[in-house]
Amino acid sequence: MAGHSQPVTVVTGGAGFLGSHLTDRLLKEGHRVIAIDNLITGHLTNIEHLAGNENYRFIKQDVTQYLYVPDEIDFVFHFASPASPIDYLELPIPTLKVGALGTHNALGLAKAKKATFLLASTSECYGDPLVHPQREDYWGNVNPIGPRGVYDEAKRFAEAITMAYHRYHGIDTKIVRIFNTYGPRMRLRDGRVVPAFIGQALAEMPLTIFGDGSQTRSFCYVSDLIDGIFRLSQADFHEPVNIGNPREMTIKQFAEEIIRITGTKSSIEYRDLPVDDPKVRQPDIGRARKILQWEPKVQFEEGITTTIDYFRQWLARAKQR
Residue 203 lies in a domain: no
Asked whether the CA dihedral 243, 245, 251, 254 is positive or negative, the reply is: negative
User: pLDDT tens across 88-99, in order?
Assistant: 889 999 999 999
Which residue blocks in 48-102 are alpha helix, DSSP H? Answer: 85-90, 92-97
Query: Does residue 121 form part of some domain?
Result: yes
The tally of domains found in the chain comes to 1
> Does residue 314 belong to any structural domain of this protein?
no
Please indicate, yes or no, if residue 151 is contained in any of the structural domains: yes
Q: Which of 88, 126, 151, 221 is flagged as catalytic?
A: 151
pLDDT, tens digit, 9 for 90 and up, residues 137-178: 999 999 999 999 999 999 999 999 999 999 999 999 999 999
Tell me the per-residue pLDDT of 213-268, one tens digit each, with 9 for 90 and over.
999 999 999 999 999 999 999 999 999 999 999 999 999 999 999 999 999 999 99
Residue 320 lies in a domain: no
For residues 39-60, give the mean pLDDT.
97
3-state secondary structure of 21: helix
Q: Is residue 124 part of a domain?
A: yes
Task: Give the chain's largest Cα–Cα span.
Answer: 58
What range does the domain containing 125 cover?
Answer: 8-183+222-245+282-297
Q: Which CATH number does the domain housing residue 40 bear?
A: 3.40.50.720
- Has residue 123 been placed in a domain? yes
Query: Among this protein's residues, is 126 annotated catalytic?
Result: no
Between vectors from CA 196 to CA 316 and to CA 210, what angle results, nearest 5°?
A: 160
Q: How far apart are CA 180 and CA 199, in angstroms?
A: 17
